[in-house]
Every structure is written in structure tokens, then in C-alpha cells.
Amino acid sequence: MIPKKYQKFIAASLTAICLIVWHQPAWAISLKEEKQLSQEFMRVINRYYKLIDDPVITAYVNEVGQRLLSQMPPQPFAYKFHVIDEDVYNAFAIPAGYIFVNSGLFLAMDREDELAGILAHEISHVVCRHISQRIERSKKIELATLAGMVAGIFLGVAGGGADASQALTLGSVAAGQSASLAFSREDETQADQFGLTYLYKAGYTADGLLEMLKKIRGKQWFDQTPSYMMTHPAIEERISGIDSWMQSRGKESKKTLPPLCTPEEFHRLQYRLRALYGDRDTTLQYFKSQLDQKPKDAGLAYGLGLTYNRLGNQPEAIEYLQKALAQNALDPMVLSDLGKAYFESGRLSDALRVLNGAVSLRGANTLGWFYLGRTQMELGDFAAAADAFEHTIQQQDDYAQAYYFLGQTQEKLGREPDTHYYLGLYYFLKGDDRNAHHHLVRAQKSVQDPAKLEIIKRTLEIIGKLPPEPQGGR
């Protein structure tokens, strides 16, 4: 794990390194090159950055993003939306439709419209190709070299000592260029104009984006300059421009459709994020003190239940999750977490009963399917477990843990080619190129499914040539 004292530096360094190649708008790289560049960046981020991999939070953010995209013309990219475990207020996009929001910014929001506003703005940067247009032809860095530069920063910081010092020096050089290489005022104006149109068409109010910009600006007054303001300039002009846009359109600036989540449900997602990724002791005290003030609040009971489960106190976790469930006995999210708590306490029959109920309810339920598979695996029903993990992957195709356990179930079922196939994809998603290459090459020799063979081929192309094995092993 990367030391906390380096996390803010790493966030700034990654942004700065990205911006090194986004310099002149005189030309734009091809869509193929943009996709290749995004794959290289994603490999670095997956390997060295801490992404929120909770399927509930990830699925929700992607659902909001897809609602915005549904109102747009067909796009050449398959957009993906991610949350980074980082307190700094920031959101950014990389080429080919990868959008990132920091957890600190997500926790600062009050409702879905604010999240939609930030996502719409970042989507607009991708649609307008502001990023790809800044790659200067004469100074274009090879993709592998660029990925190596970023990886060098992360490896240096993680390793400490002289390497860390070199990384800090490189990061300072990169950061020194970031101010002039950040989005221009014209880029920001255009992204806001496009984003406001997408928001309105998707049924969201423009108030959300306006409120978030005010919160980001307020963060500067009371704390420090957020990373968002360093890469997204002219925030005062943006606030004024959005306010004028709303005034000129009147009712057109207001939402026309209900959000995917009510404010209460949105806050519950924030409680989930805090419970699963916040400092454990601080989080425990937060939920206890809040429940003392609001003893009947189901969302707070849910958050405390998740916190206890994270701390390994399953009896308390089950008690508070049942309290949260009492207000809505058919809530698939709470049912899935209750099933997970039963599973982790060894109460497999209770877990099987609750999780079967959770996945039978309407809507996607990645967490429910995943822990149903884990429970069935523990009970020895490997065929049913494999089916559950396949459901998990269908709902969230980048959920690494599902690939790992699906590979394990294939091994139990005696299906060696699929064992290597799924384990290879697991290691690929985790950024372990060497193990991914090992398993995928073995799978390639015996897998018969043409679709799987094509995925193996494309994945091996992304991995490329492996570096020599370090002396003394890994």
C-alpha cells in the first residue's frame, strides 16, 4: 500500500504526467491511438492506485454516467466510471472515456444531481476530445514509455529512499508544467455548455454542477487549493456562466425526471463508502455518535453495521443490518450485506437463504451474486457457484475478485482451460502482468470458445512484451 503522506503527491503527479502529452490542440490522435493510450493509463492506475472496488458504489456511479450517455449520439468508446480512494477534491478524465471521481469529492455531495453535474462535465471533455487534441505530434511519447514514466513515479514512492527522492524530483518537474498544460478556459466553457445540455436531456437540474463548483471553491478558502481547480481553471467564470445559463433558460434548467437515488439513498451510499474505506476507528465513532442523535435512522444503522462487519464483529454487524432492514425488508443492498455478514460469521445456511432472496429481487445485484457464489462454493456446490460468479461478471465485467473465484470453481469442476482463462483475467485486472501472461498463454493452448480466444489475444497484446525477471525474484 502507498503511504498516505505520498497520496496527494501521487494524485498530482499522475495528472501532471498525463498532461505532459496533451499540449497542442493543432491535431488529435486517432481513436485507435486514444484507446491504446487509455489502456496504458488504466494499467498504471490499476496497478499503483487504490480504486474503490466495491460493486455497489461502482455500479451506481456507472449507472448515473450511463444515464447521461443515453441522451448523447453514439460514442466510439465504452465509457467507464471509477471512484478513487483519495480525500482531495478532484475529478478527471483520461482518453477513450475513462472518468474518475475522488472519494472526497463524492462525500462532499448532497444529492445525485451534483454527481451527475461533475460526470457530465468530464464526459464533455472526452466528447470534445480536449485531452487527445493536446498531444503534440513532434513530442508524442511512445505509449510504453509514457506508462513506464508513470509507473516509475509510483514504484519510486512506494519503495522509499533514493528512489522516492528521484520520484519527487520527477514529480516536481511534471507538476511545474501542469499549470500551462491544464484545460484552457475555452475548454472549460465548452465542456460546461455540452455538459449542461446532457444534464437537461437526462432529466437532471443544472443546480447540481453549480453547487459542486461552489463547494470546490469553498474548499480553497478553508483548507487548500483542490486538485480540481489546478486542472480545471477559471472556476469563478464557470460559476457565473452556469448561473447565467440557468437564468436565461428558466424552467429548462430544471430537472424533468426523478433521480436514480433519493437523497436518503444517496446518503446511504455515502455511508457505505465511509464505512468500507474510511479510517476504521474514526468511522466507528462517527456512526455511533450520529446514531445517538438519530437512533431511528436506518441509513446510520446500515453504516454502523457495515463498519462492525469490516472490523470483524459480525454479531454486532448482523444486529445493526437487521435494524436497517426493518424499515424495508425487500432492500436488495441491505439483504446482500446481511448475507455477506452471515457468510463471514460462518452461518452459511442463513447466508444462502438471505442471498438467494437478495438476487431474486428486481435489478442488478453484483454484491449479492458474488457472495451467493462464495457461499455455494463453501458448501461444495461448485456448479451453482460458477453460475453465480458468471452473473457477477455479467453485471460488472471489471470486478476482479469474481474472476478469481470463478477460476477456482472451474478448477474444482476439472475445467483446466477455463481455470487459466479466468485466473489470467483476474491477474490482468490486478495489474500483475507476469501471472496474467502465464495463465492466458496456457489457456490459449486449449480454450475452444472463439470469443474467449479473442479476449485472450487482445489482453496479451495489451500486456505486450514482459520485462526481464528481476534478479533475486520478485
Spell out the domain ranges in the chain: 4-253
Residue 474's pLDDT band (cuts 50, 70, 90): very low
Average pLDDT over residues 382-401: 95
State the pTM of this model: 0.81
What pLDDT is attached to residue 408?
Answer: 98
Least confident of 61-70, 303-312, 360-369: 360-369
Per-residue pLDDT tens over the stretch 412-447: 999 999 999 999 999 998 888 899 999 999 999 999
Per-residue pLDDT tens over the stretch 371-383: 999 999 999 999 9
CA distances from 44 to 21, 87, 305, 384 (A): 16, 20, 34, 35
Residue 138's pLDDT band (cuts 50, 70, 90): very low
Per-residue pLDDT tens over the stretch 255-296: 678 999 999 999 999 999 999 999 999 999 999 999 999 999
- Give the helix, strand, coil percentages of the chain, each rounded to 5: 70, 5, 25
Between CA 245 and CA 348 the distance in angstroms is: 56
Per-residue pLDDT tens over the stretch 333-359: 999 999 999 999 999 999 999 999 999
The larger pLDDT score, comparing residue 425 to residue 97, is at 425
What pLDDT is attached to residue 470?
Answer: 53
% of the chain exceeding 90 in pLDDT: 51
What pLDDT is attached to residue 255?
Answer: 67
Residues 37-66 as b/e (b if ≥16 CB within 10 A, e otherwise) read bbbbbbbbbbbbbebbbbbbbbbbbbebbe
Between CA 231 and CA 451 the distance in angstroms is: 40
Per-residue pLDDT tens over the stretch 23-75: 333 445 677 777 777 777 777 777 667 889 899 999 999 999 999 999 888 88
CA distances from 168 to 40, 48, 156, 174 (A): 22, 16, 8, 10
Closest C-alpha to 115, from 54, 205, 190, 45:
205
Closest C-alpha to 83, from 468, 225, 108:
108
What phi, psi does 454 have (nearest 5°)?
-65, -40
What pLDDT is attached to residue 159?
Answer: 35
Contact 208, 117 (CB under 8 A): yes
What stretches of 363-449 show up as alpha helix (H) in DSSP?
Answer: 366-378, 382-395, 400-412, 416-429, 433-444
